Structure 1
Amino acid sequence: MIKNLFTPSGEPATYLKKLYEERHSVVFRLTIWYAGIFAACLLATLAAFYFIVLYGSSHGISHHALSELREDFREYFGVPLAIGIALSGAIGWFMAKRALSGVEEMTRAAVDISNGALDRRVPVTGRNDEIDRLAQTFNAMVGHTQALIEQMREITENIAHDLRSPITRMRGLAEMALAGKRTDEEIASTAGLIIEECDRLLDLINTTLDISEAEAGLAKLNRERTDLVELIADLQELFQPSAEERHIELQTSVSRPVFVPCDRRKMQRVFANLLDNALKYTPEGGRVTVLITDTGQNATVIVEDTGTGIPEADLPHIFERFFRGERSRSTPGSGLGLSLAQAFVLIHGGTITAANTPRGGSQLIVTLPGRTS
């Protein structure tokens, strides 16, 4: 039996390791206390019975005297036994109450949180038992929930702000169209402006839904073998007139085709947003460079500009929905382009990061896994 407690190499068996790991648990502590109290009471009872009854009977005590001794034993031992049972129950209740006090605290915290106190947390005692681990998990869950609620509140406020502006403009245009006599050309122009505002609203709503769908893992990917060099070249041709208009040099640096399995349309939107963002914040006479490399199992695309760079305080937030830095508030945009790019890259199993270059510009780095030959 003892040999079964150890492995052939002399190490303790698995269940002994588990028992040792549970030494800080509430169940272990309660078991030790209850077992100790019960064993003490039982030993006291056996000892009393041995010394008073059995020990006395071995010295020639008569049956009548032994009967009286038993009566006295029951009379005098009954009260201490009752006290011992009551005391063990009180100690057991105290220990259970103390051990499970964290559950009561957690219940009170849950009630407070349900009443709106999202900053409420359960104290962690540091005993590293089940209650402590439950409290840590509970606090982490509440923190995550609080962050989601704050993010939803911020997103709602941003959506309301972005919807109010175009709706106000459309209402103003409609009022102008109804006020007084207007020519057919003026009415057509007003209708065209209203359609543009409607398209902007639809784009905002659709982009928000696309991001939410991707983050929830519900976006469908139509993966196909795609040459990133060809894809970027098509986008470069699309953005070339805009770059030339502002005298910005738009160039691509690549040595050979780089193939990855991806959803072509989603990747087009990703790199279109990155190029649009780079051109938007690059001054006239600047340069935007797209570097495409193949690093074995991954393909990397770097979009680098010679603009003013990203403030260090803004770097951790540029992929958040509707985030607009101080420098970008005067630039047209919804603040969703980089959020959409990150969401689409992540569902492909890739990464996207941002950094400033030593020369003062910024670069966005996209890494996509799963290169195919």
Structure 2
Amino acid sequence: MAQRTQVAIIGAGPAGLLLSQLLHVAGVDSIVLERRDQAYVESRIRAGVLEQGTVDLLERAGVADRLHAEGLPHNGFRLALDGELFRIDMRELTGGKSVTVYGQTEVTRDLIAAHQSRNAPLVFEAEDVSLHGLDGDALFVTYRRDGAEQRLDCDYVAGCDGFHGPSRAAIPAEVLRVYEREYPFGWLGILADVPPCDHELIYSNHARGFALASMRSPTRSRYYVQVPLDEKLADWPDERIWDELAIRLGEEAASRMTRGPSIEKSIAPLRSFVAEPMRHGRLFLAGDAAHIVPPTGAKGLNLAASDVAILAEALIRRYAHNSHEGLEGYSARALARVWKAERFSWWFTGLTHRFPDMDPFARRMQVAELSYIRDSAAAQRVVAENYVGLPLH
């Protein structure tokens, strides 16, 4: 069975769904293919700190009502050095910019609901997705659904299918350049239905390792502790995690921390990854298909959103004005912002974590840099403007 659309979108994560919604608002047709089922996609636990630019984009897409009703605006965040807290006032330092805490899971659910309310083509459980004719005039995607082979003819393909998807793999190896840094530790995360210990996030550098106090709502908290990559989840019962958090976050934060049973626990490795170019023929990569950042600084979802903003603008111009300029410049424009976000995430990770090979001199340099940031408005401004998100150029 063959279908036809203007833009085939591979992947029903936030990047693919948001791109489809933005194209719909502008009158451009798309079909989204996703290999997982809807329940799996809607239950994926991910981060949820949205830059102002991402919030603006969701407003443009017409899916921000619940975000504004339930999201938690944050005007600052806290840094801690061995339990001593100080605050970065983002709003004051960036001329009024802030971030909003709203889970990526909720963003995904809002976008799926918007698609289904307008009966938009959203194909779950699309197996064996394969891209054909990227360099020619007959571009199409094949996949299998309910045991039947399907063909989707299209003008362009947006690869929003994550690190392991088929889109990046469709770019010839001699064309693709990959840059990667794997970190020698992971984040052990715990999600619990308890109130947060602070109304803003706390990033803590402690002699025992990094910790983060975050939240999903006023009644649901998300905490992380840095652990070696070979740690086993079974060795970390809830009580051990809470005890370790109390030590690493320090007495002030620990005194406000409410303990409770976990509703989800996981260990995630940290990596920095960029693939260049983000365009090959009529294939355009966006989000984790092209780049991954460590979660320090909350750039993953926001980078995906900025990719989508640039790509949607280019596709809309192509169909509205028959202009190919935006599409031709997509990779360079997107990568310029990607690398700046990669730099911030890499730097912030290095500032807040303990590395296995860290000698006393390196530790003293961490302490000195955190002390400098604490005492310098200029240094805090640099941190704040990166945290709230750099502008699209």
TM-score of the superposed pair, with normalisation by structure 2: 0.17
Instruction: Specify which structure has the bigger relative contact order, considering alpha-carbon pairs within 8 angstroms and separated by 6 or more residues.
Output: 2
Query: Going by fraction, where is strand more abundant, 1 or 2?
Result: 2
Query: Going by fraction, where is helix more abundant, 1 or 2?
Result: 1
TM-score of the superposed pair, with normalisation by structure 1: 0.17
